[in-house]
Structure 1
Amino acid sequence: MSSPAGDFDEQPVILCVTASRSKRAQVARLMSGHGVVLMFPDLQAVRAVLFGDPTASATSGAGAVALGRLVLDQQRQQVSWAGRVLPLTRLERDVLAALASPPLRVWTYQQLYEQVWGADYLDDASAVRSTVKRLRAKLREANATVAVESARGVGYSLVDASSHGRY
């Protein structure tokens, strides 16, 4: 292994993939001076950065993602339904972006909390529940056919409420 002061070409590249900011900080401290460390919150971000994957997460800042008439535009920091901009807070927008990111799935309270709030989850889902409650109300108010469905005791997923099924 080359010395930390060696040429960049001789430095190993270390990938760290974890949603936990504290774990990424820990890896950065441990690997300091041992190579180039690339930090990613999830595999979608890895694909987006390393491979230019067009199906990368809506939260990766790669433009707009559309699910039917729902459009999440990360660059403009706005969400619209059927062309009408929804008055979402940053947290509501980030929760919706996570739920809408491919592949659509059930997100646990822990995964949502760590993704949106960027902190370690301390087994208290109240912040996630409160944000989802406000998000649901705003989607209903806009007559959106997308809805946030509960997976009792687990978390949430995004569904097509008009057909009562998943996307």
Structure 2
Amino acid sequence: MDEAEPADEPFPLLIAVTPSPAERIRLAERLEGIAPLLLVADLDELRRLIAAPSQLPGPPPAAPSEPAPATATDPALVIDSNRSTARCGPREVDLTRLEHDLLTCLTTEPVRVWSYAELHRAVWHDEGRERKADVQSLVKRLRRKLLDLGTNATIEAVRGVGLLLTDRQEPRIGRA
């Protein structure tokens, strides 16, 4: 077959979606040589990569390393993993590695309540320690940064269960 001709059979491609950089590295190492591999952090990133340019409305999307610019009225919280920053509208804050990993973890499943042990394992990557005080200290710093951003997102404690990322604008049953 001539190299310029397209293949008659479908192109084998493995696609893995995981927010964890460590998990993407592990998958790349384990699946090396099996087939071409596309590793993405979330489904939105996958959609941007596979969408045909003619199907995208408006101007072409920003490069994956650059998140789309937020407008002054954009209430969305944007996490830039490449620069380790969080942005809401025109405001931006730097994140430490631990803050970035915690915020990324909480945003992967926004309606899930994460236990302190799950968050500790996801952020610190050590199975045996699982210290609640580590998570609480990190959450306190991250809440302050979210407040500085002016975003409606915050981290709330669910008594006896753990933590979740919520929107302060959402009405809560039983709250005044």
TM-score bracket relative to the smaller structure: 0.5 to 0.7
* Partners of 1:140 and 1:121 in 2: CA distance: 32
Please list every run of 5 or more consecutive structure 1 residues that lacks an aligned counterpart in the other structure.
1-18, 22-36, 40-47, 57-61
AA aligned to 2:156 is E
Task: Kindly indicate whether the alpha-carbon contact (under 8 Å) linking 1:72 and 1:97 is maintained by their aligned counterparts in 2.
Answer: yes
Q: Higher RCO, 1 or 2 (CA under 8 Å, sep at least 6)?
A: 1
Question: Residue in 2 aligned with 1:117?
Answer: 124
* Partners of 2:152 and 2:131 in 1: CA distance: 29
Q: CA deviation at 1:68?
A: 4.8
- Structure number with greater Rg is 2
Question: Residue in 2 aligned with 1:107?
Answer: 114
Q: 2:43 aligns with which of 33, 54, 58?
A: 54
Aligned residues: 123
Question: Residue in 2 aligned with 1:142?
Answer: 149
Please list every run of 5 or more consecutive structure 2 residues that lacks an aligned counterpart in the other structure.
1-19, 23-28, 32-37, 46-63
Q: 2:168 aligns with which of 145, 151, 161?
A: 161
* Other structure's SS at 2:43 match: coil
Task: Kindly indicate whether the alpha-carbon contact (under 8 Å) linking 1:95 and 1:116 is maintained by their aligned counterparts in 2.
Answer: yes
Task: Kindly indicate whether the alpha-carbon contact (under 8 Å) linking 2:75 and 2:152 is maintained by their aligned counterparts in 1.
Answer: no
TM-score of the superposed pair, with normalisation by structure 1:
0.58
Task: Kindly indicate whether the alpha-carbon contact (under 8 Å) linking 1:113 and 1:121 is maintained by their aligned counterparts in 2.
Answer: no
Task: Kindly indicate whether the alpha-carbon contact (under 8 Å) linking 2:120 and 2:126 is maintained by their aligned counterparts in 1.
Answer: yes
* Partners of 1:154 and 1:97 in 2: CA distance: 19
AA aligned to 1:119 is D
* Other structure's SS at 1:76 match: coil
Q: CA deviation at 1:137?
A: 1.4
TM-score of the superposed pair, with normalisation by structure 2:
0.55
AA aligned to 1:118 is H
AA aligned to 1:138 is K
Q: 1:98 aligns with which of 79, 88, 105?
A: 105
Q: Specify which structure has the higher proportion of strand.
A: 1
Task: Kindly indicate whether the alpha-carbon contact (under 8 Å) linking 1:110 and 1:121 is maintained by their aligned counterparts in 2.
Answer: no
* Partners of 1:79 and 1:73 in 2: CA distance: 6
Q: 1:132 aligns with which of 116, 128, 139?
A: 139
Counterpart mapping for 1:17-96 below 5 A:
38=30, 49=39, 54=43, 68-96=75-103
Q: Taking every aligned residue pair, what percent have the same amino acid on both sides?
A: 33
Q: CA deviation at 1:53?
A: 6.4
Question: Aligned in 2, Cα 1:53/1:69: closer, same or farther, shift over 3 Å?
Answer: closer
